[in-house]
Amino acid sequence: MTPLRQRMIEDMQVRNLSPHTQTAYVQQVSLFARYFNQSPEALGPEQIRAYQVHLTNEKKLAPGSILIAVAALRFLSPETPPGPKKPQKLPIVLSPEEVLHFLSCVPSPKHRTILTTCYAAGLRISEAVRLKPPHIDSQRMVIRVELGKGQKDRYVMLSPRLLEVLRDWWRLEKPKPWLFPGDIPGRHITSHAVELACREAHRASRISKPITPHSMRHGFAVHLLERGTDVRTIQLLLGHRSLATTARYLRIATSKVCSTTSPFDLLPQPAAPEPKPAAPQHF
């Protein structure tokens, strides 16, 4: 391992970035160095700018992918040019009826229980697959999410209906140490395996809207909002650092936002015109 890579890894560890993020950033720096066929130590802000142009015009990468590369290259040079502005696209959200139908199309009890948990508790798929039986607290009716995004712990609601689903899964498999074990002994199921199962269920459901495991989390937030839950509570349940991130769901909650009375309907009604006297009849 080169001294530069060692220093970068140490800097990322000091910032407490997740192992997944560290691996992705190291890979991005390797791709950057391979493009110029030089050591990253010999490359600076001008080369980083040229690389961004390459990723944009030649590789045709999405802004989100380019921003990952920019974040990684910032560990090499604090003078890294800023990345592109990421478009603020709104996710397409399933209705409660569509969620129910979709889950009924997931044949595997394990995959169906995981996706149900994502919807019922608003979990990311990476958080759901890492659950352990002790994380399900039926006394306090909460689920403990350990080291979610941003390396933060939090508690989320445990609905009575979800508790029954999880108990049915427990009685079926008696899983340990992970609530949802994978094919490799001692390891939990991978997010990729659930994504593949989600894809198959999507085809079987014949729902025209796009569906991913994250759609369950989006549905959780929007359906709570449409039922009157305040944004701050939803922020805490989702584990968002910024309230602005949660507030974007206000633009999707159509039954709440679009049901607001238009000011046009509050205007006074104009007085009805006086009826004109009938013209005299001539025979």
Q: C-alpha angle 88/237/94, rounded to 5°? A: 55
Catalytic residue among 110, 111, 202, 240: 240
Q: Is 188 a catalytic residue?
A: no
Catalytic residue among 132, 149, 209, 256: 149
Q: Is 240 a catalytic residue?
A: yes
**In sequence order, what are the residues at sequence separation of 6 or more whose Cβ sits closer than 8 angstroms to the Cβ of residue 133?**
170, 175, 176, 177, 179
Catalytic residue among 111, 112, 124, 202: 124
Q: Is 124 a catalytic residue?
A: yes
Q: Is 227 a catalytic residue?
A: no
Catalytic residue among 110, 111, 202, 217: 217
Q: Is 149 a catalytic residue?
A: yes
Give helix then strand counts, H and E, for the chain: 13, 3
Residues forming beta bridges with residue 181, ordered by sequence position: 188
Catalytic residue among 54, 214, 248, 256: 214
Count the Cβ atoms, other than its own, within 10 Å of residue 217: 21
Given a contact cutoff of 8 angstroms between Cβ atoms, the answer to whether 21 and 46 are in contact is no
Q: What is the rounded end-to-end Cα distance, in angstroms, of the chain?
A: 112
Catalytic residue numbers, as ranges: 124, 149, 214, 217, 240, 249
